[in-house]
Structure 1
Amino acid sequence: MPAVEWFLVACAAHARVMQRERGMPMVQVAAFSHPQSRLKASELSDDRAGREYADRGHGGMAYEPRTDPVHKEHQRFARELADYLDEGARASAYGSLVVFAGNPFLGDLREALSDGTRRLLRTSLPVDLSHVGPAEIERRVEDELAST
Structure 2
Amino acid sequence: MKPHWILIANSARARLLQQEHPAQAPSLLKTFEHPASRLRSSELGDDEAGRERSDRGPRATVFEPRLDPHRKEHLHFARELAAALEDGAVRGECASISVFAASPFLGELKQEFGAETQRLLESTHDVDLTHVETPNLDRRLREQG
User: Which bin holds the TM-score, normalised by the shorter protein?
Assistant: 0.7 to 0.9
Structure 2 vs 1, CA of residues 3 and 42 (structure 1 numbering), >3 Å: closer, same or farther?
same
Q: Give me the whole-angstrom Cα distance separating, in 1, the residues matched to 2:85 and 2:48.
A: 36
Unaligned runs of 5+ in 2: 52-62
State yes or no: 1:72 paired with 2:69.
Answer: no
Percentage of matched positions with identical amino acids: 44
Partner SS for 1:31: strand
Deviates more, 1:75-84 or 1:42-51: 42-51
The CA deviation string for residues 1-40 of structure 1, in whole angstroms up to 9 with x for no partner, is: x741000000100000010001432100000000000112
Instruction: Spell out, residue by residue over 1:75-105, the C-alpha distance to the aligned partner (whole angstroms, 9 max, x if none).
Output: 0000000010001001111111000001110
Could you say if the C-alpha distance between residues 64 and 89 of structure 1 is closer, same or farther in structure 2, counting changes exceeding 3 Å?
closer
> Is the Cα contact below 8 Å between 2:16 and 2:30 reproduced in 1?
yes
Query: How far is 1:66 from its partner?
Result: 2.1
RMSD (CA atoms): 2.2
For the residues of structure 2 that align with 1:3 and 1:47, how far apart are their CA atoms?
Answer: 44
The C-alpha deviation readout for 1:83-129, integer Å capped at 9, x for no partner, is: 10001001111111000001110011100110110111111011000
Aligned partners of 1:142 and 1:47: how far apart in 2?
42
SS of equivalent residue, structure 2 residue 129: coil
Determine the structure 2 residue equivalent to 1:103. Answer: 103
Shift of 1:68: 0.8
What number of residue pairs does the alignment pair up?
134
